[in-house]
Amino acid sequence: MASKAQVEWDDSVLPFQLDVSNIRGRLARLDSVLNSVLEQHDYPTVIEALVAEMTLLTALIGQTIKLRWKLSLQVRGNGPARLIATDYYGPTEDGQPARIRAYASFDKERLDLDGNPFDQIGSGYFAILIDQGEGMTPYQGITPIAGQSLAQCAETYFAQSEQIPTRFSLSFGQSQTPGADLAWRAGGLMIQHMPEASPLMAKDGASGENGLLQPADVLEGDDQDHWNRVNILLDTVEDMELIGPSVTPSDLLVRLFHEEQPRAFDAQTVRFGCTCSAQRVKDSLSIYSAKDIAHMTTDDGKVEADCQFCGAHYELDPADVGMDAPA
């Protein structure tokens, strides 16, 4: 039977602030939403681990942005794990859950099933894309793959592209409770130095690999002291504290940061959700000519498409898609 703490806090993101240190943060726990993401596919465990980490990062980062529509994270590499992509959709109304989805593209023949998941990516880039909807110009920020994990890639992105010192502490994996099936659980903490207090440029150059900025590179004086102190406290967190279920997020914040005067705000519920539809498929095919659509048409006279995120299958009339389709 699930514990009270697990029932109350699974699939949620808790925002908080450390008043003494001028640091904000998010604490996330994902259970059924992560399993729903992974159940849409039949991935090897090594790919599931990458998708799990990326999904957790997306939930943490997505909750820090006031979205009208969508935040996307993408990792592209030249290794067997070619692409890990996630989307986070902000709540459409107050009190409604955020929605998240994810998928991966990989070369099964090259994949090392017993290898380190991050090593399967190789060289490439980490990207954050923010789309605020119709009439708004999308934002895109890109940094090279760096460090030893997707979390460290995200830390490098925020230091390099946003000059916002950021740290992640994540825990995720498969677990099994008595009488239940094997399932994924994930939990993580994200801290950021408040943007308005961050300097506009690095003071002493970049300390990361290949000349990339790291969080400490964009802080100095008291700000750097506060950042170092909070990071030391975060280093004491244990994996089981992050994923629960016996320790509530609020209790964990007090345990870690009681001297930093933590303030917790309303938690945001997260659910699995896909936005695919027949109309969206038609819209995506609108760039193709009638000749292109003819090449896509099956012997049965249909244009078929599958959603990469949820696996939904669509069969469309060729006359309804492409540039020559009726408006």
Pairing of strands 98-106, 268-272: parallel
The fold for domain 4-272 equals: Hsp33 domain (3.55.30)
Query: Which tokens hold the place of 239?
Result: 């994996």
Residue corresponding to tokens 């502490």: 169
Question: What pTM value is reported for the model?
Answer: 0.87
Q: What is the DSSP letter of 201?
A: S
With CA atoms as reference, report the closest residue to 167 among 20, 23, 12: 23
- Report the chain's C-alpha Rg in angstroms: 21
For residue 222, the one-letter residue type is D
- For the chain, the first-to-last Cα distance in angstroms comes to 54
Report the amino acid identity of residue 134: E
Q: Each residue's pLDDT tens digit in the chain (327 positions)?
A: 444 445 467 899 999 999 999 899 999 999 999 999 999 999 999 999 999 999 999 999 999 988 778 999 999 999 999 999 999 999 888 889 999 999 999 999 999 999 999 999 999 999 999 988 777 788 899 999 999 999 999 999 999 988 899 999 999 998 766 667 788 999 999 999 986 544 444 455 666 666 677 777 777 788 889 999 999 999 999 999 998 778 899 999 999 999 999 999 999 999 999 888 888 878 777 778 888 788 888 888 888 888 888 888 888 888 888 666 665
Domain range list for the chain:
4-272, 278-320
